[in-house]
């Protein structure tokens, strides 16, 4: 006989906790207030998420100005769709989903425009997608801060070469520190798929970053 270990296995939508519903400073309450025309509530929402969303989109696109634009577009969409917002999931899941879709859309636009990095790329011999080549600078550096900066830049570039489907879960997991469950809801896929993609993304990064490891 199968026994249910959690209430989520019943298949109901995740219920909100009572304290979340009653908390006037919760994201849901702020969005409710925004819906009724409270501009200050929306400003509070923006102040809570602007850095997270901007950073996430920046890690996805590797373009700060573009990331700021897309982050603003994310908030504009949240504001416009405030009336249609459903409290089924956490607000963070909702806003990250919008940001992910915008970032992926931007990446696809870039791919159509055939924009490539000036660092160069090598075409794969098997005819697969061209991948950026970022050789590590092996010369000795004078300052440990410079070393750290160079390593971060290398990681950022390496993340930028990952396919979209691996990039988003890796950033959400290893940069933003989100749970597998939340990532699965943001990306609208299963938790197993998320784990698999993150594992593969780390494998790609290990190959690219072996000089730094």
Partner 1 sequence: MRKNTCELIRRELDELNLDETCSTAAIEHLRECAMCREFHEKQTKLRQIVGSLGTVAAPADFDFRLRARLANESSSAASHFNFVDWPVLQRGLAAAALLLVFATGAFLVRSMLNGPVPVTETAKESAPTVKESPRQLEQAGSFPAPGTVKHEVVTLPPGKRPQRNKMDARAQVAVSNNRRLATIDSSFSGAEVIKGTEPLASSAAIPIDALSLQSFTVSVDDGRGNAKTISVPAISFGSQRLMHNGNQFAPKRVW
Site residues for partner 1 per CB under 8 A: 43, 46-47, 50-55, 58-59, 64, 67-68, 71-72, 75-76, 79-80, 148, 151-152, 155-156, 159, 170, 174-175, 177, 180, 195, 198-199, 202, 205-206, 209, 212-213
Task: Give least dist CB 130 to partner 1, A.
Answer: 23
Phi, psi of 132 (to 5 degrees): -70, 145
Phi, psi of 91 (to 5 degrees): -65, -35
Task: Give least dist CB 94 to partner 1, A.
Answer: 18
| Those residues with Cβ within 8 angstroms of residue 123's Cβ, 6 or more apart along the chain or in another chain | 130
Cα–Cα distance, 174 to 21 (Å, whole number): 30
Whether the Cβ atoms of residue 78 and residue 48 lie closer than 8 Å to each other:
no
Task: Give least dist CB 75 to partner 1, A.
Answer: 6
CB nearer to partner 1: give 87 or 202. Answer: 202
Whether the Cβ atoms of residue 172 and residue 181 lie closer than 8 Å to each other:
no
Whether the Cβ atoms of residue 92 and residue 49 lie closer than 8 Å to each other:
yes
**Secondary structure of residue 57 in the 3-state scheme:** helix
Cα–Cα distance, 157 to 21 (Å, whole number): 42
Task: Give least dist CB 126 to partner 1, A.
Answer: 26
CB nearer to partner 1: give 20 or 63. Answer: 63
Whether the Cβ atoms of residue 152 and residue 55 lie closer than 8 Å to each other:
no
Task: Give least dist CB 183 to partner 1, A.
Answer: 12
CB nearer to partner 1: give 20 or 175. Answer: 175
CB nearer to partner 1: give 187 or 198. Answer: 198
CB nearer to partner 1: give 16 or 66. Answer: 66
């Amino acid at each position: 006989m199968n026994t249910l270990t959690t209430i989520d296995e019943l298949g109901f939508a995740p219920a909100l906790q009572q304290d979340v519903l009653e908390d006037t400073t919760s994201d849901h309450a702020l969005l409710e207030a925004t819906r009724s025309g409270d501009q200050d509530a929306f400003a509070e929402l923006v102040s809570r998420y602007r850095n997270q969303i901007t950073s996430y989109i920046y890690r996805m696109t590797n373009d700060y100005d573009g990331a700021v634009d897309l982050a603003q577009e994310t908030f504009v969409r949240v504001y416009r769709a405030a009336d249609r917002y459903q409290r089924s999931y956490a607000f963070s899941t909702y806003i990250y989903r919008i940001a992910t879709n915008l970032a992926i859309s931007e990446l696809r636009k870039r791919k159509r425009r055939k924009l490539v990095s000036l660092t160069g790329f090598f075409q794969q011999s098997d005819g697969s997608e061209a991948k950026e080549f970022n050789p590590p600078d092996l010369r000795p550096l004078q300052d440990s801060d410079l070393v750290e900066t160079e390593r971060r830049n290398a990681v950022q570039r390496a993340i930028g070469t990952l396919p979209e489907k691996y990039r988003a879960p890796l950033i959400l997991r290893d940069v933003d520190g989100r749970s597998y469950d939340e990532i699965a809801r943001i990306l609208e896929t299963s938790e197993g798929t998320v784990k698999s993609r993150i594992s593969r993304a780390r494998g790609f990064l290990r190959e690219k970053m072996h000089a730094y490891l």
